Amino acid sequence: MPNSETALQAHAPWLDQRLRLHAHDGTVATASDIAQLAAGAAAALPPEVRRLTIDASQAQAVLVALALAQRRPLDIALARETALASLPSPQRVQLAPGVVAWFDPPAGDAEGPLQASRVRLSTSGTTGHFKSVVYPLDRLTANLQRHPAGQSAVWLLTYEPASFAGLQVLLTAAANGAAVLAPQRTVAALAQAAVQGGATHISGTPSFWRALLSSIPLQSHLPLRVATLGGEACSQDLLDAIRVRFPEVTIRHIYASTEAGVGFTVTDGRAGFPADWLVHGIDGIALRVHEDELQIRTARGMLGYDGRTDEATDGGWFGTGDLVEVEAEADRVLFQGRRDSVVNIGGTKVLPEKVEACLATVEGVIDIAVLAHPSPILGHILIAQVYAVPGADAAVVEAALKARAMEQLTPVARPVRYRFVDSVVTASGKKGRKHGSV
């Protein structure tokens, strides 16, 4: 197959020939490699197949799947690593080296012929509930930002490749012909790859950033140019910590979700976003607060959930599930937590995120996750999982946490147990919100 820039532009216009993808096994894939694998997969794909699922646990397979969907109209589901175990082994087909697929049954005759490729993504399932979200391929690849010196960037892939955030990193790097570091997704491996590979652009959740800051030795040189945070509410203390560690870096807090797509970017170094955006919008996106929930109206989001693409929004407004508070004096909208994470304790509603924000700044704590546990008396109680500074005395840290809770939290919002753990994040890079164990 021709591997010239012209051929790449014809089959995958978002794929710059200078892309370099560094995998965890030491191999490096180029744009030509990805284009050739996509061509091989297209040749192996039976012409009657319209819907398929791709093992998208590796970054290269994700880019190949998108390039494959560029060649003919397909409905492709990108399966995260956690979903692979539920797929039937006897029905797996290798379309090309490293490209494993399952052919899905038709969605129904009512849909009619597929006119353009669509991609199905899974939400992060932070609360234990996964949803399949449908995007037109051209909506995912449209409006990718290209920078004059984009090919000199070295991106660290901290997200699952098949997540919406992971796709944004891969597509942005691909469009700019940049390098992507895709090591094993443990904090230690990512920190090592960032230093050794010279990462200039790192995008991750606030929970990941807290862990990363504690994992990169102070004496290490990291040529970081852009630090991007997203996927969770970002606190002011974390933004300040990144600024102290990397004084010259550009810090961006991106608001995006699998359903709503990329919303807006905050670059002023402050938590939340300007309240004025609720009135005038930002970058063609309208925002409003309804019953304490942020709602967004945008043309960049999903078609809908798989099987019901006509039920995506309510009158054009999409409820994000993020609870916010407007601080009039500061002219700021601050994120408080997720609606689906609210815990009912003896009739009082408690936001775990607000408890975490109170306790995360206790000395000796890197990060903390507050989970609900069923209680026969109160309905629920709170359990705190504590990710402490290595070498910290657990008894001392726990005493300090209890003192802070006693001082600043109401009785029902105080965790009844503190468990010390090695990590508080799930495979998605976010904190899990499933029930904790006592």
pLDDT tens for 230-246 read 999 999 999 999 999 99
Question: What is the CB-side half-sphere exposure of residue 129 using CA atoms within 13 A?
Answer: 3
Name the more confident of 393 and 219.
393
pLDDT of residue 111: 54
Across all residues in the chain, what is the average pLDDT?
Answer: 90
Q: Which of 50, 49, 62 is nearest to 23 (CA)?
A: 62
pLDDT of residue 385: 96
Domain 4-142 has what CATH class? Answer: alpha beta
pLDDT surpassing 70 at residue 104: yes
What are the structure tokens assigned to 212, written together? Answer: 């990363």
Which has the minimum average pLDDT: 28-37, 138-147, 210-219, 273-282?
Answer: 138-147
Q: Which of 227, 170, 232 is nearest to 202 (CA)?
A: 227
Question: What is the CB-side half-sphere exposure of residue 174 using CA atoms within 13 A?
Answer: 30
For CATH 3.30.300.30, list the domain ranges present in the chain: 343-421
Domain 343-421 has what CATH class? Answer: alpha beta
pLDDT surpassing 90 at residue 368: yes
Residue corresponding to tokens 């905050």 = 266
List, in order, residues 6 or more apart from 363 with CB less than 8 Å away.
Answer: 397, 400
Determine the average pLDDT of the residues in 313-338. 88
For CATH 2.30.38.10, list the domain ranges present in the chain: 258-338
If you count DSSP H runs as helices and E runs as strands, how many of each does the chain have, helices first? 11, 25
Which has the minimum average pLDDT: 78-82, 158-162, 366-370, 393-397?
Answer: 78-82
CATH number for the domain whose boundaries are 258-338: 2.30.38.10
pLDDT surpassing 80 at residue 123: yes
pLDDT, tens digit, 9 for 90 and up, residues 215-232? 998 888 999 999 999 999
Amino acid identity at 209: W
pLDDT of residue 3: 46
Rounded Cα distance between 172 and 153, Å, is: 10
List, in order, residues 6 or more apart from 222 with CB less than 8 Å away.
Answer: 194, 195, 198, 199, 216, 246
CA distances from 30 to 64, 123, 179, 209 (A): 11, 29, 9, 28
Confidence of residue 353 (pLDDT cuts 50, 70, 90): very high
Cβ–Cβ under 8 Å, residues 296 and 319? no
User: What are the φ/ψ torsions at residue 40 (nearest 5 degrees)?
Assistant: -65, -40
Rounded Cα distance between 97 and 94, Å, is: 7
Rounded Cα distance between 414 and 398, Å, is: 13
